[in-house]
């Protein structure tokens, strides 16, 4: 039973890591100022789950490329 709990936590950690990496890449590609990018990145790094959720709702968006 303990092995199943460990596997779920490991998978959850990988999902959180992937979402945080996606957020950091999007922050980097956004048109926000360098200071705002730094603050958003620190929020996502220091508070991985809460920071991601706050970024998802209110964070800077990446620049969209239109043809």
Stronger pLDDT, 28 or 5, i.e. the higher one: 28
Write the pLDDT tens digit of every residue in 28-56.
999 889 999 999 999 999 999 999 999 99
Would you list the DSSP string of 18-67?
HHHHHHHHHHHHBSS-HHHHHHHHHHHHHSHHHHHHHHHHHSPPBPPP--
This prediction has a pTM of: 0.76
Q: Quick one: tokens of 15? A: 């999902």
CB burial string 23-38: b at 16+ within 10 A, e below: bbebbeebebeeeebe
| Per-residue pLDDT at 27 | 92
């Amino acid at each position: 039973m303990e092995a199943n709990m460990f596997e779920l936590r490991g998978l959850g950690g990988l999902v959180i890591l992937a979402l945080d990496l996606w957020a950091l890449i999007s922050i980097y590609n956004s048109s926000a100022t360098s200071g705002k990018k730094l603050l958003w990145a620190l929020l996502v790094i220091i508070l991985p789950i809460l920071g991601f959720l706050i970024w998802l709702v209110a964070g800077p968006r990446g620049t969209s490329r239109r043809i």
